[in-house]
Chain A
């Protein structure tokens, strides 16, 4: 029973991070109709920036409590990168064929991966001081790190905040209008370029936040972004590209299957996830929550 609780907690932790990545990917696709292949790398950058900042702050002797304030900084840095990328690289491509959009973000992925390597080198960066700073919690007879609850809470809070922004604010209305019909929205006086750049930056912020909160539990390593991207693809394919609820449900499904997979059939764990994605695409191409 205790093991089961721990496993469920683990999968919630994983789902929370996956949701942050895939919600950003899905938001960007929903509004801009671009599949951002560099999204996983943006998540990795969030992790690297945060781990680096925490390491710096520790060296300077900043007290532990303040370190937690550094977590959002990684996310903000990634959002700023998004602010630069969208007008510079993506804007020329909205009128061009999808293939080119995919290729330009693939090029961006190659570039950003090496920029990470250029700045931080090949050694893993860890920020586990943050994880150790919080007391452990006893679950049943076992000890469970308290920080994991923070991650789950951040994921839940982000889901709620995103839902509020999209469905309960004026900006959300503009966002949804643009996503449904770009030209009509422009005709109604919405500044489409501004909506696009904000949507892209919010998407990047989510990915960066995912990286920032995950880095105390696992070190930032090269290649983590590319792996994360594929899992985020699986999530949005299951849930439906462009759907927020879909990203949430997809993240929960993927993390549950993955946790169960690691426990019971470790060799097939990844293969099963990709197969689930393929089956969903076959049976319901738009995903569980997607619209046509």
Chain B
């Protein structure tokens, strides 16, 4: 038992080092890439945050949610309401108010959904997210209906950085990239701590063997509920960050096919790995953007990729790379 912390310390140090190098690499991107690429990568990082949250449920708790659009969309609409109806234009304000709201929403929906597992859990999450979608779609005098709500560029860091005057757009994209990158880094660290905490281990125990976990005295439904709450809040945060970047919140981000995209994202990177959804979010953003740019039939392309992925690479990109690396190592040893 005594040796354990030492081992984890030893493995944590190079890991933190690697993470720092990658973070530095991300920080250097805007210096080389153009405005468009920077903007695209910002979208990618936001998708990564959403998938990271989603994967706490799928990868670590074993629950497939088909309704995570609800929390993402809620985050986006909260920002839109705050800007439109309350004249709030501070990003920190959005996050401070938006996070508790999405947390409450996920706590509420989660409380209902965790009564089920497997297929019924998926349908229940889907049905509840569709409630929000239909409300956003029908109450057009509040939500703008299918036209959505416009979101002006907010100020950052409590009003220290604002974006007016000439060249504001380019400046916004560059500064906002670093803002999102910082939030992303915090999210990754927090999620890492969560999944490696006793709580995270308990979730994995429940995922692997529910009956045994119950015998160990774990309150399964409570654990699943908290996991749902955290998961929804992370995805909600992604929605909050997404809204000012996109400049428009439409019911599309509440529709269930958007939940499907989040599932796709996690699967693409590999939901059995911590880094899978992060990579998946970034790769998916590029994949979708280029698919939409090259062909009118981008859905077809994405569908084919999804089917092939499930057939050939069920562990996703990261999973495939990991197993390749282990095979390579094994060959070196022998």
- A residues in contact (CB < 8 Å) with B: 35, 89, 92-93, 96, 98-100, 102-104, 106-115, 117-118, 226, 230, 233-234, 237, 241, 266-271, 274-275, 277-278, 281-282, 285
- Stretch in contact with the other chain, from B153-161, B228-236, B302-310: B302-310
Ranked nearest first, the 5 interchain pairs of A and B with the lowest CB-CB distance are A110-B303, A107-B306, A270-B134, A114-B300, A111-B303
Give CA–CA (A93, B256) in the complex, Å.
23
Interface of B is mostly: helix
Give CA–CA (A113, B304) in the complex, Å.
12
Residue B64 at the A interface, CB < 8 A?
Answer: yes
Interface of A is mostly: helix
CB contacts (< 8 Å) of B260 on chain A: these are 106
Chain B 274-333 interface residues, beta-carbon cutoff 8 Å to A: 296-300, 302-307, 310-311, 314
Contact A98 to B138, CB < 8 A, known contacts A103-B306, A111-B303, A281-B123:
no
CB contacts (< 8 Å) of A96 on chain B: these are 314
A103 touches B267 (CB 8 A): yes
Give CA–CA (A165, B257) in the complex, Å.
35
With contacts A110-B303, A230-B126, A237-B127 known, what are 17 further pairs, Cβ within 8 A?
A99-B64, A102-B64, A102-B66, A103-B264, A103-B267, A103-B310, A104-B311, A106-B263, A110-B300, A110-B306, A111-B299, A111-B304, A114-B303, A226-B257, A230-B256, A268-B138, A285-B116
Select one of A111, A266, A278, A285 contacting B128, CB under 8 A.
A278
B297 touches A117 (CB 8 A): yes
Select one of A99, A118, A270 contacting B297, CB under 8 A.
A118
Chain B 136-182 interface residues, beta-carbon cutoff 8 Å to A: 137-139
Q: Nearest chain-B residue to A230 (Cβ)?
A: B130
Residue B56 at the A interface, CB < 8 A?
Answer: no
Select one of A107, A112, A275, A281 contacting B120, CB under 8 A.
A281
Give CA–CA (A106, B299) in the complex, Å.
11
Distance of B304 from chain A, by nearest CB (Å): 6
